[in-house]
Amino acid sequence: MRNTFGNLFTLTTFGESHGTAIGGVIDGYPAGIPVDMEFIQGELDRRRPGQSHITTGRQEEDRVEILSGVFEGKSTGCPIGFIVHNKDHHSQDYESIRCLFRPSHADYTYYNKYGVRDHRGGGRSSARITISRCVAGAFAKLALKSYGITIQAYTSQVGDIALDRDYRRYDLSQTEKNPVRCPDPETALLMEKKIAQVKAMGDTIGGIITCVIKGCPVGLGEPEFGKLSASLGAAMLSINAVKGFEYGDGFDCVNTLGSEQNDHFHNDQGKISTISNHSGGIQGGITNGEDIYFRVAFKPVATVMKEQPTIDLEGNPTRFRPDGRHDPCVLPRAVPVVESMAAMTILDNILLLQSEKTIHFTQ
């Protein structure tokens, strides 16, 4: 089982949904970075359960404890170990699924791959494991701050309720002012109402998160197998419930001609930039200095509070109705996870770019 993300900046995670704790080890983090613990905890608070009436009722403080790698408020360059204890897990709620496979969950695939599975809340496949990603993402954001790089994600669609694709039409600073994390207040109310209605039906709903990265230098990514677009895609597709990724104009580019899609360069008093940004800040797999923007599609949460057909461990047909506490829509809590994966990917690529510029081979 691969539990490590990254090349030079790495995160190795551990823990299960109903285990003692979730945690991880960050390695390759630069020394001397000021570590703002209030900011790091704030990033976890954005992800934690029980935030509002449209999220799961599980109540966890999700207080992070740093075990190593930070001294007198700064990173030391050594591995950063951290841990977040689980406190409000109701494992008894999952006894009914001990001997059966839930539709569209990882139960069947995990059991067949490893011969064993933790049925309590999904175990290792639970979205609760993304706690570690948010901690590492917060550290990555602190490092990126010194480069002038910012990352902002937001809910852009819930079901059939959608914002315009152009992120420049919205004040993204408004994103955190509503429980849906949508920067447009009127649309946010419609989304919140939609999620509440679906929850009352015992069902779930999916949607799209848009992410914008500003301030990246030219040159991140490789032209062949290390394309930044591919790295971002892999990072996003590793998040629970993600079913799609597109950057720039994405699939909409098929509706245009090449002459309409091309981003023309111009020189503004010595500063090279593009007039348009259909490419989403990445050309040939390498950043061109423009804003990077992408969209991530999340399927409806697989656990619906309705009776469904399935099979048991012996392959016999059966039916089940889940217990427990679950999100009717994952998007509000997934926004910080998307940002975290983006931050880790960008920081890893910055370190790779720096290593390419500082390593010289002698003949």
Q: Are strands 21-27 and 74-75 parallel, antiparallel or unpaired?
A: unpaired
The one-letter amino acid at 198: V
pLDDT of amino acid 269: 87
The overall pTM is greater than 0.85: yes
DSSP for 169-227, please give it: GS-GGGGGGSTT--SSHHHHHHHHHHHHHHHHTT----EEEEEEEE-PPTT-S-SSTT-
pLDDT tens column, 90-127: 666 667 778 888 888 888 888 888 888 877 767 788 88
pLDDT tens column, 200-248: 999 999 999 999 999 999 999 999 999 999 999 999 999 999 999 999 9
Residue 65 CA to residue 44 CA, distance in Å, equals 12
pLDDT tens column, 300-313: 998 888 888 998 88
Computed on alpha carbons and rounded to an integer, the radius of gyration of the chain in Å comes to 21
Beta bridge partners of 75: 70
Residue 214: alpha-carbon gap to chain centroid: 17
Stretch among 47-51, 131-135, 286-290, 351-355 having the lowest mean pLDDT: 47-51
